[in-house]
C-alpha cells in the first residue's frame, strides 16, 4: 500500500491525524466524503475528469466541503490533493486511510456489496459471522450493487466470498450445460 501514490497520501493523512489526535474527526469526514462520492455521479466526474482545471476543481470542492460540513484537517488534505492534481485518486486514498485506521484498531476491513441496503440486524449478523471466521473485529464498508439479484459479495483482504444469487444461477447454468 505504501508503494502507491494513494498509499503515501493516505499514510500522511493518517499520521498527521494521529499526531494531532483527530483520527475520529477525520474518520467521520472521510466517511461523509466517501458517501457523497458513492452517491453522486457529478462528484465522481469532477474528481476523475482530467479536463477540469485544478482551479475549477478547487472552487467546486470548496463549496461541496462547506455544504457537507467537512473542515479542518480533512478539508486541507482534500484541497492539497486538488492543488497537486491528485484528486482522481481520492477514492483509493480514502480506502487506504480506512485500512490504516482498521489496522491501528486491530480490526479487519470488509467490503460488502448487496442488492439492497442492509438493515442494522443484518449488519450485526454479518459482523458476527465475519468475526467468527476471521477472528478479529470487522469494520464493514457496504455498497448497494443494483446488478446483484440477491445475496452478498464480501471481500476481506484477499479473500472474496460470493454468495450472490447471480453467481449461484450462473453456476447452476454451467452445471446444467455439462449434464446435457
Over the stretch 48-96, which tens digit does the pLDDT of each residue have?
A: 998 999 899 999 999 999 999 999 999 999 999 999 999 999 999 999 9
How many helices and strands (H and E) does the chain possess?
Answer: 8, 4
pLDDT of amino acid 2: 58
Distance CA 82, CA 49 (A): 12
Distances from the Cα of 87 to the Cαs of 14, 47, 116, in angstroms?
Answer: 17, 6, 29
> Is 107-179 in the same CATH topology as 5-101?
no
pLDDT in tens, the chain (180 residues): 557 899 999 999 999 999 999 999 999 999 999 989 988 899 999 999 989 998 999 999 999 999 999 999 999 999 999 999 999 999 999 999 988 988 888 888 788 888 888 888 998 998 888 888 888 888 888 888 888 878 888 888 778 877 777 777 788 888 888 765
Residues comprising the chain, all counted: 180
Question: At how many degrees (to 10) do helices 90-105 and 23-39 cross?
Answer: 140
Q: Which residues of 80-118 are buried (b: 16+ CB within 10 A; e: fewer)?
A: ebbeeeebebbbbbbbbbbbbbbeeeebbbbebbbbeeb
Query: What residue segments make up the domains of the chain, in order of their start?
Result: 5-101, 107-179
Q: Which fold has domain 107-179?
A: Glutaredoxin (3.40.30)
Q: Which residues contact 22 (CB under 8 A, 6 or more apart)?
A: 72, 73
Distance CA 177, CA 102 (A): 44
pLDDT of amino acid 61: 93
Distance CA 86, CA 9 (A): 10
Q: Copy the grid coordinates of residue 84.
A: 497537486
CATH numeric code, 5-101: 1.10.520.20
Q: Copy the grid coordinates of residue 65.
A: 466541503
pLDDT of amino acid 66: 92
Q: What percent of the chain has pLDDT over 70?
A: 98
pLDDT of amino acid 136: 82
Q: Which residues contact 13 (CB under 8 A, 6 or more apart)?
A: 26, 73, 74, 77, 93, 97
Amino acid at each position: 500500500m505504501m508503494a502507491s501514490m494513494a498509499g503515501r497520501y493516505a499514510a500522511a493523512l493518517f499520521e498527521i491525524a494521529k499526531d494531532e489526535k483527530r483520527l475520529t474527526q477525520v474518520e467521520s469526514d472521510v466517511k461523509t466524503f466517501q458517501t457523497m462520492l458513492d452517491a453522486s455521479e457529478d462528484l465522481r466526474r469532477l474528481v476523475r475528469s482530467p479536463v477540469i482545471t485544478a482551479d475549477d476543481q478547487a472552487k467546486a470542492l470548496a463549496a461541496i466541503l462547506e455544504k457537507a460540513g467537512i473542515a479542518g484537517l480533512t478539508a486541507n488534505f482534500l484541497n492539497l490533493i486538488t492543488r497537486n492534481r491528485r484528486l482522481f485518486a481520492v477514492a483509493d486514498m480514502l480506502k487506504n486511510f480506512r485500512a490504516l485506521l482498521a489496522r491501528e484498531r486491530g480490526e479487519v476491513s470488509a467490503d460488502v456489496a448487496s442488492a439492497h441496503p442492509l438493515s442494522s440486524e443484518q449488519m450485526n449478523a454479518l459482523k458476527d459471522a465475519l468475526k467468527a471466521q476471521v477472528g478479529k473485529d470487522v469494520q464493514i464498508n457496504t455498497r448497494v450493487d443494483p446488478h446483484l439479484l440477491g445475496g452478498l459479495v464480501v471481500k476481506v483482504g484477499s479473500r472474496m466470498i460470493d454468495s450472490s444469487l447471480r453467481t449461484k444461477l450462473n453456476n447452476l447454468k454451467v452445471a446444467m450445460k455439462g449434464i446435457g
